[in-house]
Structure 1
Amino acid sequence: MEKFILNAGKVLARWRSGINYFLEEKVQRSSTNLILFLLSTFVVFILSFSLFFGVRSIIDNYVIFLILFSIMLLILIWVAIFYESEKHLETGRHPFQIVSIKKFQVRFELLHLDKESKEQFLRLMKGLRVRKKINFTIGNKSGDSANHRILFVLFDELVIGGIQDLTGERKRSFFNLLMDSFLMNNEPLKENTLKTSFSTWKNDQEKINSRNQRKFIRQLLGKE
């Protein structure tokens, strides 16, 4: 009995492996293959139906079966189109959840943004990637480092959970978002500069200047 169970288990494993390969490598490889597979399954189901009720029942009701087949085909095509559109929507989104802030709360005059940059900033707040980089100019008088720090405070208030605890790939993704979304005084942001400024900013949270920046950003976002 034990030998039978072992051999049967091996056979079942090979059988399941073949099915998994077929479903994952052949069926799921493209939407067309998946639709054809499901339609074939539907046809097999209808043919099996004839084994219990006779071929005559299918012939007499072929119009109904054709209508059901057409409806199923249309549904499958629509589902495939919908999920394909979801993929394209995801490529336009950035990977950070943003707190819910109504746009009328934001004091855009404090951000010194023109109309186009304002629209791009609103895209970021909606979780979307910008179409054109925003030129960030706040803090010019204190140098680039201050600019970076205010930008960090801004996203620390915008991103759900904040950004201070970001590490590894998540932090790299955040830096990429900043580099893809902003210019600093018309200059591209550099990853090495972001890393250095980010570490310094995290260690200076209790300093008066950092607290003032936090208060400024909260006023800018209409949080106080």
Structure 2
Amino acid sequence: MEKFILNAGKALARWRSGIDYFLEEKVQGKPLNLILFILSTYAVFVLSFSLFFGIRSIIENSLIFLILFGIMLLILIWLAIFHESNKHLETDRHDFRVEPLKTSRIRFELINLDRESQKQFVRLINGRRVKEKINFTMGNKSGDSANHRVLFVLFDELFVGGIQDLTGERKSSFFNLLMNSFLMNHEPLKENTLKTSFSAWKNEQEKINSRNQRKLIRQVLAKE
């Protein structure tokens, strides 16, 4: 029995590999090609049916076959549309996990966000990318570096696992999210400034100012 299972597994793997190759190389993953392939398979099935039961049986049951064909075509078109919509949804979402929060409890007034910026910030919390950049003004009196650091604390509290241990591509992805989502007092964020501020911020977590910023952000997010 064990030998049979091993051989059957190998045979199934070869069969699946062949199908994957055909779908990827020949059909090429295009919805229209896939629909045509499946409908062609259905046509072959109908023809095979006629070989066993005769052409007369096909003619007699033609209405049933046409109804099944129509239902299959509608289902395939719907699946293709659904698959295409998923692609657009994926491009609309960022790839960071957000801590569960009640957006109704967030105290936006503490970080001076206007109504439109609040809406866009909620999109970020819900895992989606913003439609318009959020104008972040918190901390202007202390200079631009304070702005960046408050923003870092905000996302350190927002994202699952925080941001302090981000490195390499993951950190670059985070910086891109910030640059694509925020303005700093109407000015675009710059990657070099983000890198410098991020390093300085990580090294100053125990300072009183950093502790006060974290306390403020936790109040904003209704964590305390």
Provide TM-score, normalisation by structure 2. Answer: 0.88
Q: CA deviation at 1:52?
A: 2.6
User: What is the distance in 1 between the residues matched to 2:168 and 2:96?
Assistant: 15
Paired residue for 1:167? 167
User: What is the distance in 1 between the residues matched to 2:89 and 2:219?
Assistant: 32
Q: CA deviation at 1:29?
A: 4.1
Q: Is 1:126 matched up with 2:133?
A: no
3-state SS of 1:56 partner: helix
What is the identity, as a one-letter code, of the residue corresponding to 1:144? D
Q: How does 1:18-97 map to 2 (within 5 A)?
A: 22-97=22-97
Q: CA deviation at 1:21?
A: 5.0
Paired residue for 2:221? 221
What is the identity, as a one-letter code, of the residue corresponding to 1:139? G
User: What is the distance in 2 between the residues matched to 1:153 and 1:16?
Assistant: 48
User: What is the distance in 2 between the residues matched to 1:148 and 1:56?
Assistant: 77
RMSD: 1.9
Q: CA deviation at 1:22?
A: 3.9
What is the identity, as a one-letter code, of the residue corresponding to 1:188? P
In structure 2, relative to structure 1, the CA distance for the partners of 1:76 and 1:121 (3 Å cut) is same
User: What is the distance in 2 between the residues matched to 1:33 and 1:159?
Assistant: 40
In structure 2, relative to structure 1, the CA distance for the partners of 1:74 and 1:205 (3 Å cut) is same
Q: CA deviation at 1:212?
A: 1.4
Q: How many residues align?
A: 211
Q: CA deviation at 1:68?
A: 0.3
Deviation digits for residues 20-41 of structure 1 (CA, Å, limit 9, x no counterpart): 5542133134211110000001
Paired residue for 1:212? 212
User: What is the distance in 1 between the residues matched to 2:48 and 2:144?
Assistant: 73
Q: Is 1:113 matched up with 2:113?
A: yes
In structure 2, relative to structure 1, the CA distance for the partners of 1:153 and 1:24 (3 Å cut) is same
* Stretch deviating more after TM superposition (71-80 or 40-49): 40-49
User: What is the distance in 1 between the residues matched to 2:16 and 2:185?
Assistant: 60
Paired residue for 2:3? none
Stretches of structure 1 lacking an aligned partner (at least 5 in a row): 1-12
Q: CA deviation at 1:18?
A: 7.9
User: What is the distance in 1 between the residues matched to 2:141 and 2:40?
Assistant: 69
In structure 2, relative to structure 1, the CA distance for the partners of 1:16 and 1:211 (3 Å cut) is closer
User: What is the distance in 1 between the residues matched to 2:80 and 2:28?
Assistant: 12
Q: Among the aligned pairs, what percent are the same residue? A: 75
3-state SS of 1:183 partner: strand
What is the identity, as a one-letter code, of the residue corresponding to 1:167? T
Provide TM-score, normalisation by structure 1. Answer: 0.88
3-state SS of 2:113 partner: coil
Stretches of structure 2 lacking an aligned partner (at least 5 in a row): 1-13
Q: CA deviation at 1:56?
A: 2.2
* Stretch deviating more after TM superposition (158-167 or 22-31): 22-31
3-state SS of 1:179 partner: helix
3-state SS of 2:99 partner: coil
Q: Is 1:197 matched up with 2:197?
A: yes
Paired residue for 1:177? 177
3-state SS of 2:130 partner: coil
Q: CA deviation at 1:203?
A: 1.6
